[in-house]
Amino acid sequence: MKKALKIVLSVLEIHFSSLLLFVLFLSMFLQVLMRYVFDYPSPALYEIMTWSFVWTVWLGAAFAWRYQDHIRFNVLYEKLPRKVQLVFDISFNLIFSFTLIISFWPVLNQTIWYKVIRSQVLGIPWDYLLMVLPLSMILILIHNVVWIYYEFDELIRGKRHTGEEKPWA
């Protein structure tokens, strides 16, 4: 189960978002080519570019949370003893998880409501385009629960977990 979950997470957060990033740059390149060489800007390419950017950012946020590489203001945090840092981490992660759980259903319902709206050029229902938000909330919640477990384990047993090995390290 753990290995299957890792594979699914990797496919979504690494491979699918990499594909979307490639689509983003390809559509951006083609858009520049169409606009400045052929003097014919393509609204479809602009739409593809916009939505692939949105999906890449939200899946990238979940990926950053997976490795605790999100932006933090930790000037004072790093000066604290490790046990106090763990208490802060656990508290923040619990509050954040609680917030994600509470806001998930309203976000999902709002996303599904957008099926009545279609994108202007490609005609794709907005609920497909915006489904990345509830998806990224689920992914971040999964990673957050894992980090809460690691932090509790370190606080109780003193065994420090580093999480998964970063693919870029």
pLDDT digits 0-9 by tens, 124-165: 888 888 999 999 999 999 999 999 999 989 888 888 877 677
- Amino acid type, 113: W
Structure tokens at 79: 């000066």
Residue-averaged pLDDT of the chain = 88
Of 48-57, 82-91, 158-167, least confident by mean pLDDT is: 158-167
Closest CA to 31 of 17, 50, 18: 50
pLDDT digits 0-9 by tens, 58-81: 999 999 888 887 777 788 888 889
Closest CA to 16 of 112, 131, 127: 131
Closest CA to 139 of 12, 4, 2: 12
Cβ–Cβ < 8 Å for 117, 125: yes
Provide the residue ranges of all domains of the chain, joining segments of one domain with +: 2-157
% pLDDT > 70, the chain: 96
